[in-house]
Amino acid sequence: MAISNINQLLIRNIDGISAATPLFVNIVNDGFIAEYLTHHTTAKITCYHTNFADYKLSQMSENNQVTSHFCVEYKAQVKHDLVIINFPKSKAEFGFTLAMLAESMTEDATVIIVGENKGGIKSADKLSKNYLNFCNKVDAARHCLLYVGQFQSDLPKFELDEFYKYYSVTVGDNQLKIAALPGVFSQNGLDVGTDVLLENLPQSIKGKVLDFGCGAGVIAACIGKLFPGTKLTLVDVSALALQSAKTTLALNGLNGESLASDSLSDVKERYDFVISNPPFHQGVKTHYAATEQFLTKIKQHLSTHGCITIVANSFLKYPPIMEKAIGTTKTLAIKKGFAVYQCFT
């Protein structure tokens, strides 16, 4: 794997970021961890990931000096004297991350923030004012920036519940309450694509249902209310999304299984219905491969006469992929720039 521009900038400054117990936040294991240990041989590294795919990659280091975690809320077992944060695509998630990590750091811990110019990193100074004493730009290379800061003392205790945003969705005679943490798709309200999909759900849904790329759990919650008795499974690559989806189900008196998976990597069962607004953005770049892989592989997770219904931007050429991989595909609706496609095994 080629070393990312972000990690190349970190390597360029590696001699100056020595630490005994560093914490790497959403730093991709593309060779940087090994390089860090080459320069700082006694370091005990902790990797915290909110992305399941990156977490699985970090587990491959096979080094007893590296510990990896995938979770929504990180709590340190040992205080960290350095944290390196990959600036998230969501600015709200950046504040969430700083608020959460403060109590896991030593008093004089160094905070390093790194990210791509086009990913919003230039706003790090402004966005960190409530959490850091200072946030100074110290280097720029490979279209990336690196900032150094230090946490303020006596920051409030982190409370996960304070970072949820809530909104309502009406489906049929039901009004559902949706909970979403920072960084989760459509945190501030129902997106147009999902709205179009909910208008075109199968008339009858029963048995085992998979909500792929569940986000805050809107689709699964609506199905659970409209079709009681369905067995819901919610899949996402994001720890923040999965926690939001669990909260959404609980708020609406519903039950379901939440499953972390890199696309379909950890999905083992077969489902009677797959309903999805599949993601096509990854990081700051438009990225279609994950959805195309999902459509190519989903048939092996559909039961006999199983049904898949998805919504996507109407310009995306998904029907030919579905036709080839699954079967005859119908276009149920085209509305507001989105299309709903459906096919049966």
Question: Stretch 271-277: mean pLDDT, rounded?
Answer: 98
Predicted local distance difference test score (pLDDT) of residue 172: 84
Q: What is the pLDDT of residues 127-144, one digit of tens each?
A: 999 999 999 999 999 999
pLDDT number for residue 289: 78
CATH code: domain 164-344 is: 3.40.50.150
Residue 262, pLDDT > 70, answer: yes
115 C-beta neighbours (distance < 10 Å), count? 26
Say whether 183 sits in a helix, a strand or coil: coil
Beta-strand runs (E) in the chain: 22-25, 45-49, 66-70, 80-86, 105-116, 132-141, 144-151, 165-171, 174-180, 208-212, 231-236, 257-260, 271-276, 281-282, 285-286, 302-313, 329-335, 338-344
Q: Would you call 161 exposed, middle or buried from its count of C-beta atoms within 10 A (0-12, 13-18, 19+)?
A: exposed
Q: Is the pLDDT of residue 122 over 60?
A: yes
pLDDT tens readout for residues 38-82 = 999 999 999 999 999 999 998 887 789 999 999 999 999 899 999
Please choose, from the candidates 274, 217, 24, 156, the residue with its C-alpha nearest in 3D space to the C-alpha of residue 10.
Answer: 24
Distance from C-alpha of 286 to C-alpha of 279, rounded to nearest angstrom: 10
User: Residue 116's closest CA among 284, 3, 240, 328?
Assistant: 284
Tokens 């438009």 map to which residue? 286
Kindly report the CATH class assigned to 5-160: alpha beta
The mean predicted confidence, pLDDT, of the chain is 95
pLDDT of residue 80: 98
- Provide the token pair at 321: 């992929």
- Predicted confidence (pLDDT) per residue in 164-186, tens digit: 999 999 988 889 999 999 999 98
pLDDT for res 11: 97
Confidence at residue 291, expressed as pLDDT on a 0 to 100 scale: 86
What pLDDT was estimated at residue 1?
77
pLDDT, residue 63, reads 87
List all residues 6 or more positions away from 86 whose beta carbon is below 8 Å from its beta carbon: 6, 25, 26, 27, 28, 114, 115
Q: What is the pLDDT of residue 282?
A: 45
Over residues 92-102, the pLDDT tens digits come to 999 999 999 99
Tokens 């507001």 identify what position? Answer: 336
Q: What is the pLDDT of residues 9-38, one digit of tens each?
A: 999 999 999 999 999 999 999 999 999 999
5-160 and 164-344: identical CATH topology:
yes
In this prediction, residue 280 carries a pLDDT of: 65
User: How does residue 158 score in pLDDT terms, banded at 50, 70 and 90?
Assistant: very high
Q: Where are the domains of the chain?
A: 5-160, 164-344
Q: What is the pLDDT of residue 26?
A: 98
Report residue 287's pLDDT band, with 50, 70 and 90 as the boundaries: low
> What's the rounded mean pLDDT across residues 213-240?
97
Q: Is the pLDDT of residue 285 over 50?
A: no
For residue 2 the two structure tokens come to: 């080629």
